[in-house]
Structure 1
Amino acid sequence: MTETLPTAADIDAAAKRLAGVALRTPLVSSPVLDALAGGRVFLKAETLQRTGSFKFRGAYNKLSSIPENGRAGGVVAFSSGNHAQGVAHAAQLLNMRAAIVMPNDAPRAKRERTAAFGAEVILYDRVKEDREQIARDLATKRGAVLVPPYDDPFVIAGQGTTGREIAEDLTQLGLKPDNVVVNASGGGLTAGVALAVKAKFPDAKVFTSEPQYFDDHARSFKSGHRETNAQSSGSMCDALMSPTPGKLTFEITRHLVGNGVSASEDEVARAVAFAFRELKLVVEPGGAVALAAILAGKLDTKGKVTVAVLSGGNVDAELFAKLVA
């Protein structure tokens, strides 16, 4: 697979690489949630994935695709935390060196766990500095492979295995999805899920879900080109703070998705508390935006089958305690 748009076949290939390594996470349902939505709702619990988020899928698929003779310099990535942990753990499993450029305001738990996997953590100021440029310069200096958080065919294909499992599990249940809602930052997960789900269920509607005021995907779908967020910080959904949709991801999502919803901070907080109270799941704010959109009635779920991805569960204990109190 070259630097071109990935396909459903690439997701199948990623599934083979990830077999026995990534966890096959469950589709969780709740009678309470179904009653509130007026339909069937399933939650893809990527909170239970290795490193606590879907990001491990794309990271491992990318790193395992690097030829043995190209691994000496290690890898460099840039991330607010979930991609950082995914790359760090994948590198650990594959005996590769990893350096991760992380914002200095990333949750402490994410910084500490990234380092615990053996990666070198390099902090930057997300308001004043360009994380991608820092990472690119470092990769060039070290002869390392740059592992983008979303705009990479192998990363997208790895994330797409999430959607592949959704399609397979719904098929086993004899159901077809009407709506699939995916938390969006750069769009790698959304692009991969859309490719996999649409390959099996072409009539399914796929939506991005983003924090209020950081809805660059939704605005981009309306304008037809990649929009940029006016601010780079100011939401507790730290996992969803990319400034604009990725180039590769938007080429996929503008054709296969084309619709987006958003949720306010209060709506996200209620979703985090709901997941803990009703589902006994720990979901970080950025991982709960799709659920928040459903609970807030942002989608037509009455009489329909809806799937939302709970994309991550890496949240500081102090913030989590505040949200569920």
Structure 2
Amino acid sequence: MELVGRDDIEAARAALAGVVRETPVTPSRVLEEAVNGPVLLKCENLQRAGSFKIRGAYRRIQRLTADERAAGVVAASAGNHAQGVALAAQLLGTRATVFMPAGAPLPKVEATREYGAQVELVDSLDETFTAATDFAARTGAVLIHPFDHPDIVAGQGTVGLEILEQVPEVATVVVCTGGGGLLAGIAAACVPAGVRVVGAQAAGLAAWPPSLAAGAPTGVAGATIADGIAVSRPGDVTFAHVRALVDEIVTVDEEALARGVLRCLERDKLLVEPAGAAAAAAVAEYPGRWPAPLVAVVSGGNVDPVLLVDLVRRGLVAAGRYAALRVRLPDRPGYLADVLRLVGRAGGNVVDVEHRRLTASGSGPGPVPGTVDVALTLEARGHDHRAAILAELAVAGYDVAAE
């Protein structure tokens, strides 16, 4: 298979002029402290439609013939590709139909509709591609694959060209990966320039490591909060590029993704979805593994506000700054006040208190007669401080455990 080259990416960039934004790169001080070297974030979360996907989608549709565009386009997506295709089709004057899972975040569904696409909801993400393929066969619409096409790879590769110009001294680029379109495109642009390119995948659904080990795209099962990279099998086109060009693929777990979202929001002042935080999370999880200056691509910022609340909480828990404790104490006046006094003396800030006289399920026996379980939710300064609070309660004779 012939790989996408620099000329293909340059042509895509010319086609995208005036359509996409040259997104900024911004230093991440907290990551620089972790790796002891320059780290910059490439902010594709600030791209039109909230992610890099408009680049590949526009280039793919722009390259269709007039007759193909007249027949319309169809896509399958949980969100970012849907918005990219919808916006690209609107800009290029063609109809778009997008199949999305019924559980897709409502803001992504509504944004796709607002860009002019006809949205069809199906039961699951796996069913979206089958439904889109059937629709293409019935209607003659052109299927716009989310990653597995040379034009998609070339469009996403324009991110790499921008990085080379914005950070000429870059030594490593870390890129989130699901199906591999963005990773393949950036590798095609950057590796020939002598830059190391690393992929970062969610450990909960990581098809790249077994695929590369097997020498062919391999399907896996799993789940992850990073819906933007929740792809169970790499594509043939992207696999050829990644195998030939990418230096390494690493994985990050769900807690690291949540910490990444929180870090971007709190320290870098960037609203980022879990998939978009995967590269930055990998830099934090593997400090010093790759040479700097290092660029982590923040691929998207389309996060459901409801999910964001949960992600922030998970990130705080993973960082030791939010703790849930179970304390068993005598069911008599004064003991709860004593527990709260001890927590305050240790520097903890109590957020919530709940008495439990029944089991968590609400059935079966409760605590030992004459005792009560108290669930405390509190803020701490980190893992060591949380451990110190537990120790303070234990020294006072209370039966305490983290939940």
Same fold (TM over 0.5): yes
What is the rounded CA distance, in whole Å, between the counterparts of 1:61 and 1:213 in structure 2?
A: 31
The residue that corresponds to 1:229 in the other structure is 220
Residues in 2 aligned to 1:142 and 1:280: alpha-carbon distance in whole angstroms? 45
- AA partner of residue 294 (structure 1): V
Counting only pairs closer than 5 Å after superposition, residues 157-168 of structure 1 correspond to structure 2 as: 157-168=154-165
Q: Which residue of 2 is the match for residue 55 of structure 1? A: 53
Structure 1: unaligned runs, 5 residues or longer = none
1:232-271, aligned counterparts within 5 Å?
A: 234-271=223-260
Q: Is the 8 A contact 1:287 1:313 kept in 2?
A: yes
**Equivalent residue in structure 2 for 1:8, among 6, 9, 12:** 6
Aligned to 2:267, the other structure's residue is in SS state: helix
Deviation at 1:324, TM superposition (A): 2.7
* Corresponding position of 1:311: 299
Instruction: Kindly indicate whether residue 197 of structure 2 is the aligned counterpart of residue 214 of structure 1.
Output: no
Paired position in structure 1 for 2:103: 105
Contact 1:4–1:153 at 8 Å: present in 2 too?
no
CA distance 1:239–1:298, shift in 2 (3 Å): farther
Q: CA deviation at 1:298?
A: 6.0
Q: Secondary structure at the match of 2:75?
A: strand
Confirm or deny: 8 A CA contact 1:211 1:289 kept in the other structure.
Answer: yes
Q: Distance in 2 between matches of 1:136 and 1:112?
A: 23
2:123 is equivalent to residue 134 of structure 1: no
Separation in structure 1 between the aligned mates of residue 113 and residue 106 of structure 2, nearest angstrom: 11
SS in 2 for 1:149: coil
- What percent of counterpart residues are identical? 42
The equivalent residue for 1:190 is 183
User: What is the deviation of 1:247?
Assistant: 0.4
Alpha-carbon offset, residue 237 of structure 1: 0.5
Determine if contact 2:27/2:40 at 8 Å carries over to the other structure.
Answer: yes
Of Structure 1 and Structure 2, which has the larger fraction of its residues in strand? 2
Matched, 1:155 2:146: no
Q: Is the CA contact (8 Å cut-off) linking 1:103 and 1:126 kept in structure 2?
A: yes
Provide the residue aligned with 1:278 in structure 2.
267
For residues 193 and 2 of structure 2, the distance between their equivalents in structure 1, rounded to whole angstroms, comes to 22
1:125 to 104, 123, 126: 123
Q: How many aligned positions are there?
A: 313
Shift of residue 229, structure 1, vs aligned partner: 1.5
Amino acid at match of 2:170: K
- Give the Å deviation of 1:217: 1.0
Q: Is the 8 A contact 1:261 1:298 kept in 2?
A: no
Conservation of the 8 A alpha-carbon contact between 1:208 and 1:218: no
User: Please, which moves more after superposition, 75-84 or 130-139?
Assistant: 130-139
Distance in 1, Cα, partners of 2:288 & 2:215: 22
Matching residue of 1:144: 141
* Helix, strand or coil at the partner of 1:309: strand
Q: Give 4+ residue runs of structure 1 displaced > 6 Å after superposition.
A: none
What whole-Å deviation, never above 9, does each CA across 1:39-66 have from its counterpart, x for those lacking one?
Answer: 1111110000000000000011111111
| Aligned-pair CA distance for 1:230 | 2.2
Q: RCO (CA 8 Å, sep 6+): is it higher in 1 or 2?
A: 1
Unpaired runs of 5+ residues, structure 2, are 314-403
Shift in Å at residue 91 of structure 1? 0.7
The answer (yes or no) to whether the contact 1:150–1:186 under 8 Å persists in 2 is yes
Rg larger in structure: 2
Q: What are the superposed Cα offsets for residues 14-42 of structure 1, whole Å, 9 maximum, x if unpaired? A: 00000111000011112232112211111
What CA distance in whole angstroms lies between the structure 1 residues aligned with 2:133 and 2:47? 28
